[in-house]
Amino acid sequence: MRIITLTTDFGHRDPFAGIMKGVILSINPEAGIVDLSHGVPPQDIVAGALVLSDSVPHFPAGTIHVAVVDPGVGSARRALLIEAEKSFFIGPDNGIFSLVLRERTIRKTIELSNPAYHLRPTSATFHGRDIFAPAAAYLSLGMPAEELGSPTDEPSGFSWPEPSKGERSVEGEVIYIDGFGNLITNIREVDLPAEPSKLVVSLGSIVVHGLVPSYAWRKTGEYVGLINSSSLLEIALANGSAQSASGIPIGTRVTVRADAGERP
């Protein structure tokens, strides 16, 4: 069984994801389809990129990942199939694969330009159904990528906000807030300027002294700083929502300092 994953901003009210599954199963009844998320905030390409970068490493080699966060559908943006080490990626050329591709060698980039494998009539508003789902299904049947279109330039990226490092500090920002209200930053474990237990994290009115291994190390209602399961610095509220309690939005600056330890 070949696995096809779906990542979209379709939400859960409408049948768009179900329709893509119908298209895929009509072409390859043996495909195994897995939902990564249909709750990406509308048109939020960065959030979609984070979903893929967190999820892809946990899927078997050969998995086909389809992403449809696609505000440019119907414009000149390319529809792409990217063959990388161990995985295939199918979706719009808007940077949604750029995070997951940072750590992978791209073998081929194909523009999905062969209309023989598009659904007819082909809409200008739902390429997930008409172009991406069929491409994933034919690829899962073993069709060569080149049959689906023509070689093209490498995919576009987006400007990922890199944290800026000082000697004993690092500055970053909140890039994502998850469903628990945890505040996820762009600061990775390797960016930290000192041992986790000796750091002071500041964002908005929150100050957290020392990172801990897990939420359970702090009492209910206390803020927790930790390196999360994606290896990113995360600020949480023990048994609560840091987002609701603090009102801190995406984009908020985050400063991490090595604690002097001795104060004058």
- Rounded least distance, CB 10 to a copy of itself, Å: 7
**Residue of 88, 96, 118, 129 interacting with a copy of itself (CB under 8 A):** 129
- Pick the closer one to a copy of itself by CB: 26 or 197: 26
What is the DSSP secondary structure assignment for residue 116, as one 8-state letter? G
Q: State how far the Cα of 57 lies from the Cα of 229, in Å rounded to an integer.
A: 12
| 245 touches a copy of itself (CB under 8 A) | no
**Residue of 158, 214, 247, 253 interacting with a copy of itself (CB under 8 A):** 214
Peptide bond into 151 cis (omega under 30): no
CA distances for 170 relative to 69, 117, 253, angstroms: 31, 48, 11
Conformation bin of residue 221: beta by default, left when phi > 0, alpha when psi is -120 to 50: left
Name the one range near a copy of itself by CB under 8 A: 20-28, 109-117, 162-170, 196-204: 20-28
| 197 touches a copy of itself (CB under 8 A) | no
Six-digit token pair at 35?
Answer: 């939902």
Please name which of 131, 143, 161, 15 lies closest in space to residue 83, comparing C-alpha atoms: 143
**Residue of 105, 120, 179, 263 interacting with a copy of itself (CB under 8 A):** 179
Q: Which residues here bind a copy of itself, judged by CB under 8 A?
A: 1, 3, 5, 7, 10-15, 17-19, 21-23, 25-26, 29-30, 32, 34-43, 51, 54-55, 58-60, 63, 71-75, 77, 123-126, 129-130, 178-180, 213-217, 226, 228-229, 239, 241
